[in-house]
Amino acid sequence: MENADSTNCVRVAVNIRPLITSELLLGCTDCISVVPGEPQVQIGSHSFTYDYVYGNAGLPSSAIYDDCVAPLVDALFHGYNATVLAYGQV
Measured CA to CA, the distance from residue 48 to residue 20 in angstroms comes to 24
Q: What is the rounded average pLDDT for all residues in the chain? A: 88
Q: Is the pTM of this model over 0.85?
A: no
Residue 54 · residue 29 · CB < 8 Å:
no
Confidence of residue 14 (pLDDT cuts 50, 70, 90): very high
pLDDT digits (tens, 9 = 90+) for 31-86: 999 998 899 999 999 999 999 999 887 889 889 999 999 999 999 999 999 999 98
pLDDT value, residue 9 = 82
pLDDT digits (tens, 9 = 90+) for 25-46: 999 999 999 998 899 999 999 9
